[in-house]
Chain A
Amino acid sequence: MIIENVIGALDALFTFQTMSLMAIGVFAGLMAGAIPGFTITMAVVLTLPFTFGMSSIQGVAVMVCVLVGGLSGGLMSGILTGIPGTPSSVATTFDGFPMARNGRPGLALGIGVWSSFCGGTISAILLMTLAPQLAKIGLEFHPWDYFALVMFALTITASLSGANLVKGLIAGMIGLLVQTIGEDEIIGVARFNFGNEALLQGFDFLPVLIGLFAFSQLLSDVKDPKSAVESLADSVKTIAVIEHKQALIEIFKRWTIVIRSSLVGVFTGILPGAGGSVANILAYDQAKKSSKYPEKFGTGIPDGIIAPEASNNAVEGGALMTLMALGIPGDVTAAVMLGALLIHDVVPSPSFISDEPILAYSIFMAFFIGNFMMLAFQSVTLRMFILVTRVRKYVLASVILALCGIGVFSLHNIEFDLWALFWFGMLGFLMRQFGFPLAPMILGVVLGNIAEINLARAMAINSDLSIFLTRPWSLLFLLIAFFSITFPYFRHKRGKTKWALFFLPAVLFSISVPLMMMGGIPRPTIAVCLILIGLWLLYKRGKAGWDPAQLAVMKQEISEGN
């Protein structure tokens, strides 16, 4: 069945026009990702208007290719200048830039490129095999479960997005509130339009997204008058040729790091709100902790490049998995992909893969093929990157702002969208200045309608609110949402207070309850395993005399012994 769908998808994709457009998409993504300040999200968003005239398969394939290119593009800037091109490449600079400075920029770039390729390919294969399975799980969801899933996505995004959880939750709530402006989705009455006809249509989420992210990002980049007139060329001292052969040798020697980091990336991508910016740091941290020579990390070793680059390319496979299988975007870039799909009259849902297999597998195959194109284009784009680095930041910002305006207008041909871009650009800029994360707000805007519609459906079927706690999936998502809100307090008090000793066992015991309720064999088995792990943790803590400080000392001794 998968093979038939793959063949059908390849048949749809392998036309000269489609492959050319995909190649242009990868190239554009690589250039966009390479320029610090020009995020992958911005690149994907600005590509969207160009896809209107294309078929659904072509349009979405191009955007996926821009995404693939963008994920890898950040390494060029990170390795050659020490400035990550995108937040997904922050950890790459830890060892990539030192390796370049030590006289091996070609090797650093080669390791980065091939690690990206490996991570993306592993992720694409997992996407093709696991997404249909996840979609089958999604078919079990009822309106209560979907509502709880949205709440889980918002809370976990808020808890992962910054130091201050309250600010993250406020941003998420503002996003939900913004989506209530205009006509109510269910009955069609006007809400919060304050007598203004234009506000009756509400805010389309793409102008909101472009305003919040792109507009505010560009303004933040040119805020400092001195840096606004600089170009990256001042920092690019080295012109390099990618050493492919040597890079492959280094990567094959460290194949366990590639696989582990790719899996970290995929599972981070599945988690709503945690994108490449989290995955690359997590993978780097994991690689360092499990290394025989952790003290060498940061000095320019291959391991420190392989881990973040494999994971950041693998992330989007996970995010697309959640999007395609459940219709819930795994990160902001997936939220843009959702917008693209909706514009092309495609509605992701658990039945999407089975109802539209050719389109679904075209998206998977575009992600897969895009990785090969990325590999081929990296050498070419490196030379282009050197040219682009000569352009001053203020020139890029001005031109891109104009493109944002034209692109946003072309979505629905209404001036109101330009005004929305302006207002949310201001709001996004102020939020950045005051330390409010943008990702929860974007997800709130994207998921607000889904939450309200499912809540309304749930209430229409049965107005008893206790069903949210008696349905296993709903209970599971609400429990994870609750623990994700309390997790920052636990992390702060860990090793200092007694209640923190019981936090993790409480999480494990609580989550085992809905898993037991689901019935069957696999899920209750997982529940039993979780209970056993929880009991083992309690036993360990009891052995340490329930003393938080003593437990911290024991952990220190164990890690030093290792």
Chain B
Amino acid sequence: MNSVNRDSIIAILLLVMCGTFFVASFDIRVPNYGTLPPTAWPRAILTFLSILSAIYLVQSIKNPPESTKTTGGLKGLISEFKNPIWCFALYLAFLITLPVLGMLIGGILFVFCMLTVLSGAGRSKYLLHSVIAVLSVGLMWSLFTYALNVMLPEGMLISFS
């Protein structure tokens, strides 16, 4: 019987998370007024979550899930989840560069890169993707800025005020 599987690892991680939060609950200041201390509700949740995670661990060992179709180890995993990994990486880059590039330029670059990466197309589609990125983000940005009066981050490169 394969005792350690994907579900077991998730259950163990959940138990570790419960332990971490439980230890962190001792840092919560408990004032000497009020009937329900601020630690009570989180600890009750963590207790139930720990019990459920333990049950999940036992279930995963007794009835392991069917093995996934991914082959090729880490390379195979990255290959299977290539598109989501790219999406997260690009979004992270967008967030990190937001203070510098601002929402408009950062957003256009984000959409352009997403389109190019997800389509897997070469330079032939650069122009089309550029147009889509500029039009879609530009339209959304204009709508929020001028129609809805929402102040979106300008960044350091250009200023619209």
Q: Does A187 contact B (CB under 8 A)?
A: yes
Alpha-carbon distance A459/B103, docked complex (angstroms): 47
A-side interface residues toward B, CB under 8 Å?
49-50, 52-53, 166-167, 169-170, 173-174, 176-177, 180, 184, 186-187, 189-192, 194, 218-220, 222-225, 228-229, 392, 394-395, 397-399, 401-403, 405-406, 409-410, 413, 415, 418-419, 422, 425-426, 429, 434, 451-452, 455-456, 459-460, 463
Shortest distance from the beta carbon of A351 to any chain B beta carbon, whole Å: 24
Given known pairs A402-B107, A406-B140, the reply for A223 and B84 (CB within 8 Å) is yes
Binary interface profile of B, 27-61, with partner A (CB < 8 Å = 1, else 0)?
Answer: 01111011110100110011011001101100100
Q: Are A422 and B91 in contact (CB under 8 A)?
A: yes
Q: Are A456 and B36 in contact (CB under 8 A)?
A: yes
Shortest distance from the beta carbon of B41 to any chain A beta carbon, whole Å: 5
Q: Are A402 and B136 in contact (CB under 8 A)?
A: yes
Q: Which A residues lie within 8 Å of B46 (CB)?
A: 177
Closest to B37 in A: A187
Alpha-carbon distance A223/B108, docked complex (angstroms): 22
Q: Which A residues lie within 8 Å of B105 (CB)?
A: none
Given A395-B115, A429-B84, A463-B35, 10 more pairs with CB closer than 8 A: A186-B34, A187-B31, A190-B28, A224-B83, A228-B118, A402-B137, A402-B140, A415-B95, A434-B7, A459-B36
Shortest distance from the beta carbon of A182 to any chain B beta carbon, whole Å: 11
Q: Are A194 and B14 in contact (CB under 8 A)?
A: no
Given known pairs A413-B150, A456-B34, the reply for A225 and B83 (CB within 8 Å) is yes
Given known pairs A187-B38, A418-B95, the reply for A174 and B49 (CB within 8 Å) is yes
5 closest A-B pairs by beta carbon, nearest first, are: A394-B118, A398-B114, A456-B36, A184-B38, A173-B49
B-side interface residues toward A, CB under 8 Å?
6-7, 10, 14, 21, 24-25, 28-31, 33-36, 38, 41-42, 45-46, 48-49, 52-53, 55-56, 59, 81-84, 87-88, 91-92, 94-95, 98-99, 103, 107, 110-111, 114-115, 118-120, 132, 136-137, 140-141, 143-144, 147-153
Alpha-carbon distance A460/B141, docked complex (angstroms): 49
Shortest distance from the beta carbon of B124 to any chain A beta carbon, whole Å: 13
Closest to A393 in B: B118
Shortest distance from the beta carbon of A183 to any chain B beta carbon, whole Å: 9
Alpha-carbon distance A422/B38, docked complex (angstroms): 28
Q: Could you jot down 8 A-B contacts, CB within 8 Å?
A: A180-B41, A190-B28, A220-B84, A394-B114, A418-B95, A422-B95, A425-B88, A426-B88
Which one, A52, A191, A394, A415, contacts B115 given CB within 8 A? A394
Q: Are A166 and B52 in contact (CB under 8 A)?
A: yes
Alpha-carbon distance A422/B14, docked complex (angstroms): 20
Q: Are A397 and B118 in contact (CB under 8 A)?
A: yes
Closest to A431 in B: B10
Q: Are B28 and A189 in contact (CB under 8 A)?
A: yes
Alpha-carbon distance A189/B82, docked complex (angstroms): 42
Q: Which B residues lie within 8 Å of A192 (CB)?
A: 21, 24-25, 28, 42
Q: Which A residues lie within 8 Å of B59 (CB)?
A: 166
Given known pairs A222-B83, A410-B150, the reply for A415 and B49 (CB within 8 Å) is no
Alpha-carbon distance A155/B42, docked complex (angstroms): 18
Q: Which A residues lie within 8 Å of B110 (CB)?
A: 401-402, 405
Given known pairs A398-B115, A418-B98, A456-B35, the reply for A406 and B120 (CB within 8 Å) is no
Q: Are B148 and A169 in contact (CB under 8 A)?
A: no
Alpha-carbon distance A425/B90, docked complex (angstroms): 13
Shortest distance from the beta carbon of B37 to any chain A beta carbon, whole Å: 8
Q: Are A180 and B45 in contact (CB under 8 A)?
A: yes
Closest to B41 in A: A452
Shortest distance from the beta carbon of B157 to any chain A beta carbon, whole Å: 17
Given known pairs A225-B120, A228-B118, the reply for A187 and B34 (CB within 8 Å) is yes
Q: Are A176 and B14 in contact (CB under 8 A)?
A: no
Alpha-carbon distance A239/B131, docked complex (angstroms): 30
Q: Which A residues lie within 8 Å of B115 (CB)?
A: 394-395, 398
Alpha-carbon distance A190/B24, docked complex (angstroms): 11
